[in-house]
Amino acid sequence: MKNFKKLIRILAAFAVIPLLFACSPKPMKALIVSGQNNHNWRVSHIAIKEILDNSKMFVTDIALTPTPGGNMSSFNPRFEEYDVVVLDYNGDRWSATTDSAFLDYVQKGGGVIVYHAADNAFAGWEEFNKIIALGGWEGRNEKSGPYCYLDNGNLKFDYSLGHGGSHGMQREYPMHCRNAKHPITKGLPDNWMHARDEMYDRMRGPANIKELLYSGTADRNTGGSGREEPLVFTVDYGKARIFHIMLGHCGPTLEDNPAMQCAGFQTLFLRGAEWAATGKVTQKVPDDFPTAEAVSLRKGYGK
């Protein structure tokens, strides 16, 4: 009888082992493209890597371009090997080979995150502007497409003359949900307080927004446009899953980086990354998500 019970325990143990492996999904592969930016990319790309890796949902590689003026022919990421590509880049144009490889990846249905100042890049590249939907600076103007903002809760397109891209003073500000049913936003509060950050406004471009997820009011008293601006959205671009998040202006150090340490930013980033990689979101709403009255910081980036 004792031997029989022992055998049962052994068989049960062996049955549990494969079950444990079956319940542990294989991490998704993410690539962060960085190396040049008018922002502090030396900190931002590390913060992004920590957010992704500490979630245990991703394994993350980094592809850094040469320094400004360098030989771009040496920059040849294998985009096709990744579930999601994170753009943390605003600098010299890539080589024609890399341009083509990136477009091939996106047009075949690749996942992309356009993070903060990446929407400043490549103003003269028509197809890239369709991938980001809205951009700013770098000579963008009425030829780039309309301004895009909200009027009575609806997207409005303004074709008036003027440069694209501006922002007021950095500050804490409330985020306003515009689509509570999307997998990225489902279960998140309709309103929550984002940590001190820039708020991009007067952005313009093809404006091919697919699903507007969050917006914010660009306070005229702090130098903003005075309009309700689209800040987080998906992009309508063929089969691709593109998540554009204008939040996250990087601070001087990993330790002093409130916009990226914001639990709201990190939650949206991770949910956007999973959605871009798979088309769905399995993450629960975290207990530390900001409220409508108070910011919440993850200073260790999820550690």
Q: Burial of 82 by CB count in 10 Å (0-12 exposed, 13-18 middle, 19+ buried)?
A: buried
pLDDT of residue 87: 99
Residue 16 clears pLDDT 50, i.e. is over it: no
pLDDT of residue 23: 56
C-alpha 216/C-alpha 267 separation (Å) is 17
Work out the angle at residue 86's Cα, subtended by the Cα atoms of residues 277 and 213, and round it to the nearest 5 degrees: 70
C-alpha dihedral, 179 to 183 to 187 to 193, nearest 10°: -60
Q: What is the pLDDT of residues 146-155, one digit of tens each?
A: 999 999 999 9
- Please report which confidence band the pLDDT of residue 24 belongs to, taking 50, 70 and 90 as the band edges: low
Give domain 29-278's CATH number out of 1.10.10.10, 3.40.50.880, 3.40.50.450, 2.60.420.10. 3.40.50.880
Q: What is the pLDDT of residues 107-142, one digit of tens each?
A: 999 999 999 999 999 999 999 999 999 999 999 999
Q: What is the pLDDT of residues 46-83, one digit of tens each?
A: 999 999 999 999 999 999 999 999 999 999 999 999 99
